[in-house]
Amino acid sequence: MLKPFWLNAFLAIVVLSICIQIELLNHTADSYLPRKDSGKWRQSFFLSEERWRQYYSSKMGDEALLNRPLTTDERIQMQKDVSYAKDKNALLGMVSSFGL
């Protein structure tokens, strides 16, 4: 008779740990959930400095951005964008796999 109790207790612990992990990831992703934007939730593009440079080089029409050293402000912005993208992608991965 105690077997169903232990199975339920184990499953409750698993679900609780997944919920806690999702909440922690959401906190590091600047409370992205609940979503305020519309459309599909997709992987973020800025996963590296190289991709960040490619995007902003084409957006600003600055080909030199691909090869020149970044200014202090650009480096800070790049690090913020890459960090946020990684955090958001980790949250998406957790929610779309274990979170379902």
pLDDT at 72 over 60: yes
Which strand (E) or helix (H) includes residue 91?
helix 72-96
DSSP character for 42? -
What per-residue confidence (pLDDT) applies to 19? 95
Tell how many helices (H) and how many strands (E) occur in the chain. Answer: 3, 0
Calculate the average pLDDT of the chain. 91
What per-residue confidence (pLDDT) applies to 90? 94
Q: What is the pLDDT of residues 38-60, one digit of tens each?
A: 888 888 888 899 999 999 999 88
What per-residue confidence (pLDDT) applies to 16? 96
What per-residue confidence (pLDDT) applies to 62? 86
Question: 17: which 2 tokens?
Answer: 């740990």
Which strand (E) or helix (H) includes residue 18?
helix 2-28
Q: What is the mean pLDDT of residues 13-35?
A: 94
What per-residue confidence (pLDDT) applies to 47? 85
pLDDT classification of 2: cutoffs 50, 70, 90: low
How many angstroms separate the first and last alpha carbons of the chain?
Answer: 30
DSSP character for 39? S
